[in-house]
Protein backbone atom coordinates (compact mmCIF):
# COMPACT_ATOMS: atom_id res chain seq x y z
CA UNK A 1 0.00 0.00 0.00
CA UNK A 2 1.47 3.38 -0.95
CA UNK A 3 1.22 6.28 1.38
CA UNK A 4 1.80 9.99 1.37
CA UNK A 5 5.35 11.06 0.79
CA UNK A 6 8.23 10.03 -1.36
CA UNK A 7 11.98 9.46 -1.46
CA UNK A 8 14.39 9.96 -4.35
CA UNK A 9 17.55 8.55 -5.88
CA UNK A 10 19.97 10.42 -8.12
CA UNK A 11 22.38 8.55 -10.33
CA UNK A 12 25.45 10.50 -11.46
CA UNK A 13 28.54 9.80 -13.50
CA UNK A 14 32.07 10.25 -12.13
CA UNK A 15 31.95 13.97 -13.07
CA UNK A 16 28.78 14.48 -11.00
CA UNK A 17 26.45 14.79 -13.99
CA UNK A 18 23.02 13.17 -13.83
CA UNK A 19 22.67 9.92 -15.78
CA UNK A 20 19.52 9.69 -17.91
CA UNK A 21 17.74 6.34 -18.25
CA UNK A 22 19.48 4.45 -15.44
CA UNK A 23 17.31 1.60 -14.11
CA UNK A 24 16.80 1.99 -10.34
CA UNK A 25 15.13 -0.84 -8.44
CA UNK A 26 14.49 -1.44 -4.75
CA UNK A 27 13.21 -4.26 -2.56
CA UNK A 28 10.94 -3.88 0.46
CA UNK A 29 10.89 -7.28 2.10
CA UNK A 30 9.32 -10.41 0.72
CA UNK A 31 5.71 -9.26 0.97
CA UNK A 32 6.00 -5.68 -0.30
CA UNK A 33 8.02 -6.64 -3.36
CA UNK A 34 10.10 -4.39 -5.57
CA UNK A 35 9.75 -1.15 -7.46
CA UNK A 36 11.58 -0.12 -10.62
CA UNK A 37 11.82 3.21 -12.42
CA UNK A 38 14.21 4.93 -14.84
CA UNK A 39 16.02 8.19 -14.10
CA UNK A 40 14.98 11.42 -15.78
CA UNK A 41 17.21 13.76 -17.83
CA UNK A 42 18.97 14.99 -14.66
CA UNK A 43 19.48 11.52 -13.14
CA UNK A 44 16.58 11.60 -10.65
CA UNK A 45 13.91 9.02 -9.89
CA UNK A 46 11.26 9.33 -7.17
CA UNK A 47 9.47 6.52 -5.34
CA UNK A 48 6.37 6.72 -3.13
CA UNK A 49 6.76 5.69 0.48
CA UNK A 50 5.24 2.26 1.02
CA UNK A 51 3.24 1.79 4.19
CA UNK A 52 2.36 -1.49 5.81
CA UNK A 53 -1.06 -2.50 7.10
CA UNK A 54 -0.32 -0.86 10.46
CA UNK A 55 0.48 2.47 8.75
CA UNK A 56 4.23 2.52 9.33
CA UNK A 57 6.71 2.97 6.51
CA UNK A 58 8.04 -0.31 5.14
CA UNK A 59 11.82 -0.78 5.22
CA UNK A 60 13.74 -0.66 1.98
CA UNK A 61 16.20 -3.54 2.11
CA UNK A 62 18.18 -3.20 -1.12
CA UNK A 63 18.73 -0.80 -4.02
CA UNK A 64 20.11 -1.67 -7.46
CA UNK A 65 21.25 0.59 -10.29
CA UNK A 66 21.34 -1.04 -13.72
CA UNK A 67 21.24 -4.44 -12.03
CA UNK A 68 24.19 -3.77 -9.69
CA UNK A 69 23.45 -3.73 -5.97
CA UNK A 70 24.44 -0.33 -4.54
CA UNK A 71 22.91 -0.59 -1.07
CA UNK A 72 22.16 -3.72 0.93
CA UNK A 73 21.29 -2.47 4.42
CA UNK A 74 17.71 -2.00 5.51
CA UNK A 75 16.53 1.55 6.16
CA UNK A 76 13.24 3.34 6.65
CA UNK A 77 12.98 6.20 4.15
CA UNK A 78 11.29 9.39 5.26
CA UNK A 79 9.43 11.87 3.10
CA UNK A 80 11.96 13.92 1.14
CA UNK A 81 14.97 11.63 1.70
CA UNK A 82 17.46 11.60 -1.18
CA UNK A 83 20.24 9.17 -2.03
CA UNK A 84 22.96 9.48 -4.66
CA UNK A 85 24.96 6.77 -6.40
CA UNK A 86 27.83 7.16 -8.87
CA UNK A 87 28.13 4.96 -11.93
CA UNK A 88 31.68 4.07 -12.85
CA UNK A 89 32.75 4.97 -16.35
Domain spans of the chain? 2-76
Please write the tens of the pLDDT for every residue from 75-89. Answer: 999 999 999 999 986
Cβ neighbors of 20 (< 8 A, separation 6 or more) are 39, 40, 41, 42, 43
pLDDT of 2 > 90? The answer is no
Give the per-residue pLDDT at 1. 44
Residues 6+ apart with CB under 8 A from 50: 1, 2, 3, 28, 32, 35, 57, 58
- What's the mean pLDDT when you consider all of the chain? 89
pLDDT per residue as tens digits for the range 55-75: 678 889 999 999 999 999 999
The pLDDT assigned to 81 comes to: 96
pLDDT of 30 over the 80 cut: no
Amino acid sequence: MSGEGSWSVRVVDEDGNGVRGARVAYQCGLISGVGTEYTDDDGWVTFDLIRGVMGGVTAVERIWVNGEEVRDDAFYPEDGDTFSFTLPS
